[in-house]
Amino acid sequence: MLHTEMEGIKELHQEVWENCLKVIRDNLNYQSFKTWFFPIKPIKLENNILTIQVPSQFFYEWLEEHYITLLKKTIRNELGPNGRLEYSIVMDGAYTSTPYTVNVPTSNRKATTNPSVQMPIDLNAGNKSKEIPNPFVIPGLKKIQVQSQLNESYSFDNFIEGDCNRLARSAGYAVACNPGKTAFNPLFLYSAVGLGKTHLSQAIGLQVKNNFPEKTVLYVATEQFTQQFIDSVRSNNQNDFVHFYQMIDVLIIDDIHFLSGKEKTQDVFFHIFNHLHQKGKQLILTSDKPPVELKGLEPRLLSRFKWGLSADLQIPDLETRIAILKKRLYKDGIDMPFEVLEYLAYNITSNVRELEGALISLMAQSSLNKKSITIELARQMLEKFVKTSQKEISIDFIQKVVCDYFDIPVDSINSKTRKRDIVQARQLAMYYSKKHTKASLATIGLHCGNKDHATVLHACRTVNNLIETDRQFRTYVEEIEKRIKF
Ligand code: ADP
Ligand code: MG
């Protein structure tokens, strides 16, 4: 019974692939078909994902480069709109004697290109001042193509959902299904760094392109927007700049907080915003703070930011962090023991970018040194990783550690008092500042009770002498040193 059932499943993926091949064969010349499709073996069909085995990395790249559109179309024909393709690549085993396979999903390249759009200006005028100042415009006859600037790997597929991002993600998804037509306009996404603002905003753009290939989507970082505006003012074609932005259907502006204090750019953005919003075009903005906390932005802009929906992204919990790492490995076709993944997810809690950074350095370490990926390797790597990403030690921080250690108030160091324990704390603060910061003796003196550089030098000598002669004192120094470094 079980046996026949399993045979049934096996037949299904073969059948699906054979049907695909029929369509593919009709669309290619025989030679290409034979070269590129004969060697492919269907392996399995699970969750609507058909996995095909290809004989090498090169083979995989060639298929992705030349036949991906055809492949995707036929897969969708066979499996419906959610049908997907995955490759199992046979690697030649450079480090191992036996070949092994890695699995990778197909890419999303098509979703990053925009159709040509009609521009309200004549690009053939031959008049320099009329030229579009925009770096992402490729002039054509009358039509121009706007490069979306989207990165195909920032898709919804690759964006893991968790409690930390549920509202933002589902609002983003709704926007992508109905750009400009939901109440979420603008969609304002905010969070601290490395929590997925850029990824999610781009995912919306990619999804719009998947749903509505005819729409023009543009992703632009605020710095780039500002720079373009400045350039357009310099070459006296601000109008073209404004026209350009006014014809976008879905405009994504990343890190809008960088508009702070830039009044002229805010002004021009205000007009673009109004125009797009009135015409039912979609705006997606990201920022490091919610609108109410943004400083240096005009009130009229801030009030518009609040028209739609503001949603934040928070630090993902452990489970979500593990899922993110898993996805990343899957995307890159790499395998790693689960305990190592868990170890990384458990230890890196600051943000997703650092988490991915750790994963990448671990993989680099392992492949460069040809070591296998183990918890031990992860621990060694993490030690270095955490040390290098540590903040620079400041004089203030040193004072705090020293005073905490002796249980005296921090400002006593800066007072005039000559009480013995405070003098000693002050001298230690000077000593550590000299040792751990790049500050000059004069600066250290200034910050430790307004003393001169000679006093600092004297303090350092005193501490060194005491370390040599006084065991109790040496213990203090070592313990404080540990706390400073920790
Ligand atoms: P931000 O723009 O907020 O600084 P990014 O969008 O650049 O953050 O995200 C940093 C990294 O973390 C990116 O590589 C992104 O793909 C990844 N990332 C963030 N959130 C998620 C998530 N929920 N699922 C998968 N990857 C994520
Ligand atoms: Mg970002």
| Residue 385, pLDDT above cutoff 80 | no
The better pLDDT of the pair 155, 57 is held by 155
Candidate from 108, 188, 193, 195 with most ligand 1 atoms within 8 A of CB, to mutate: 195
How far, in Å, from the CA of 324 to the mean position of ligand 1? 9
Over residues 232-266, the pLDDT tens digits come to 999 998 998 999 999 999 999 999 999 999 999 99
How far, in Å, from the CA of 198 to the mean position of ligand 2? 4
Pick the atom of ligand 1 nearest to 320's CA.
Answer: 23
Candidate from 153, 170, 199 with most ligand 1 atoms within 8 A of CB, to mutate: 199
| Residue 77, pLDDT above cutoff 60 | yes
User: Nearest residue CA, atom 11 of ligand 1?
Assistant: 353
Pick the atom of ligand 1 nearest to 199's CA.
Answer: 6
How far, in Å, from the CA of 220 to the mean position of ligand 1? 17
Residue-wise over 393-423: b if at least 16 C-beta within 10 A, else e? bebebbbbbbbeeeebeeebbbeeeeeeebe
pLDDT for 387 equals: 54
Over residues 393-429, the pLDDT tens digits come to 788 889 989 999 999 998 899 888 889 999 999 999 9
Ligand nearest the Cα atom of residue 200: 1
User: Nearest residue CA, atom 16 of ligand 1?
Assistant: 199
Q: How far apart are CA 467 and CA 420, in angstroms?
A: 17
User: Nearest residue CA, atom 25 of ligand 1?
Assistant: 159
Residue range 37-46: mean pLDDT, rounded: 90
How far, in Å, from the CA of 261 to the mean position of ligand 1? 27
How far, in Å, from the CA of 313 to the mean position of ligand 2? 12
Pick the atom of ligand 1 nearest to 202's CA.
Answer: 6
Unique residue bearing structure tokens 């009609």: 118
Q: Provide, rounded to the nearest whole percent, the portion of the chain with pLDDT above 90.
A: 56
Unique residue bearing structure tokens 């690009």: 123
pLDDT for 306 equals: 93
Tokens of 320: 């979500």
- Pick from 206, 197, 223, 189: which is nearest to 151 by CA? 206
How far, in Å, from the CA of 484 to the mean position of ligand 2? 32
pLDDT for 34 equals: 83
How far, in Å, from the CA of 360 to the mean position of ligand 1? 14
pLDDT for 256 equals: 97
How far, in Å, from the CA of 356 to the mean position of ligand 1? 9
User: Nearest residue CA, atom 5 of ligand 1?
Assistant: 196
Contact in structure between 424 and 442 (CB atoms under 8 Å): no
Pick the atom of ligand 1 nearest to 153's CA.
Answer: 16
The better pLDDT of the pair 370, 257 is held by 257
**What DSSP string describes 289-351?**
S-GGG--SS-HHHHHHHTTSEEEE-----HHHHHHHHHHHHHHHT----HHHHHHHHHH--S-
Candidate from 313, 352, 360 with most ligand 1 atoms within 8 A of CB, to mutate: 352
The better pLDDT of the pair 255, 82 is held by 255
Residue 131 per-residue DSSP state: S
pLDDT for 335 equals: 82
| Residue 5, pLDDT above cutoff 60 | no
Tokens of 454: 């000679």
| Binding pocket residue ranges, ligand 1, CB within 6 Å | 158-160, 165, 191, 193-199, 324, 327, 352-353, 356
User: Nearest residue CA, atom 9 of ligand 1?
Assistant: 196
Q: What is the mean pLDDT of the chain?
A: 85
Unique residue bearing structure tokens 């109440």: 183
Q: Provide, rounded to the nearest whole percent, the portion of the chain with pLDDT above 70.
A: 86
